[in-house]
Amino acid sequence: MSDGLLVCSLKDLEPNVPKRIETPQVDIVLVQVDGTIHALEDLCSHAEFPLSDGMVRDCTIECDLHGSRFDLRNGEPLGPPATAPVPVYPVTVEGDYVYVQLEN
């Protein structure tokens, strides 16, 4: 069994559609792209706006407030106005369930 936090079932995720998950530690956004599930903190590093309200294109998510884009694989900003990355979290899929490791 995974050491991560059970956050949802695979059937709860639609490809390229952000899903907000509230946890006691931090709110995260899950995105499934090409069969891979990515987990990032659900907070734009520029304006503290939920990334889960944004659009997914290729392997990026765009903040709906000012248009900052972040790489889903590493959280790095891909252009202004954001200059700082957002935290990313390891994801494990076991059976039909998605787990996220929130602590190092």
Instruction: Kindly indicate the confidence band of residue 3, based on its pLDDT and cuts at 50, 70 and 90.
Output: confident
Contact between residue 42 and residue 48 where contact means Cβ atoms under 8 Å apart: no
Name 91's bridge partners.
100
Question: Per-residue pLDDT tens for 17-40?
Answer: 999 999 999 999 999 999 999 999
2, pLDDT greater than 80: no
Question: Per-residue pLDDT tens for 70-99?
Answer: 999 999 999 889 999 999 999 999 999 999
Please give the full DSSP string across 37-95, using - where no structure is assigned.
EEEEESS-TTT---GGGSEEETTEEE-TTT--EEETTT--B-STT--S---EE-EEEET
For the chain, domains (ranges, CATH) are 5-92 (2.102.10.10)
pLDDT of residue 104: 57
pLDDT of residue 1: 54
Contact between residue 102 and residue 23 where contact means Cβ atoms under 8 Å apart: yes
Q: What is the dihedral of CA 39, 48, 85, 100, to 10 degrees?
A: -20
Q: What is the dihedral of CA 88, 20, 13, 96, to 10 degrees?
A: 70
pLDDT of residue 79: 83
Specify the pTM. 0.94
Classify residue 31 as left (phi > 0), alpha (psi -120 to 50) or beta. beta
Question: Per-residue pLDDT tens for 44-67?
Answer: 999 889 999 999 999 999 999 999
